A = this chain, B = another copy of it.
Amino acid sequence: MKQSCLAPSEIESRLKAAGVQPTAQRIAIARYVLCEADHPTAEQVKSWADANFPKMSMATVYNTLNALVDAGLLKKHAFPHLNEATYDDNITEHYHLLDEKTGRVFDLDPADVKVTTKLKGVRIKEVDVFIRGSRA
């Protein structure tokens, strides 16, 4: 779990501010992905919902995650080692490290990973860096 866990009312404000109608399902999912989970897959969100919400369909999980991505509150990642998407509450520019020993993905601060290009005639919009390795 994470350190900064927001109250449901605060989640609600965030959803409204982003133009997303704050339904019970959306508040629950948003709270989970924004302040409890770490790069979860839709399946992991569903498992969490099955254990912590009265009843929620898989379609609602996908609908809600897509809505949060569209609203700019989440970023969807397609990591090259996984065949399912993961959802990231960290929407600032950062990179990822896959620890191949554990299969876990860690965020990398752009201060620690610098990408410099000598490309001519290319307007760069976004850079994805995915490092595979193992932590000591």
Contacts and interface: CB of A to CB of B under 8 A. Distances in A.
A28 interface: no
Interface of A: 77-80, 83, 97, 100, 108, 111-119, 121-136
A87 to B, nearest CB: 13
Total identical chains: 2
15 contacts: A78-B79, A78-B80, A80-B128, A100-B125, A108-B117, A111-B118, A115-B115, A121-B136, A122-B134, A122-B135, A124-B131, A125-B132, A125-B134, A128-B132, A129-B129
B121 A113 contact: no
B123 A118 contact: no
A100 B123 CA distance: 10
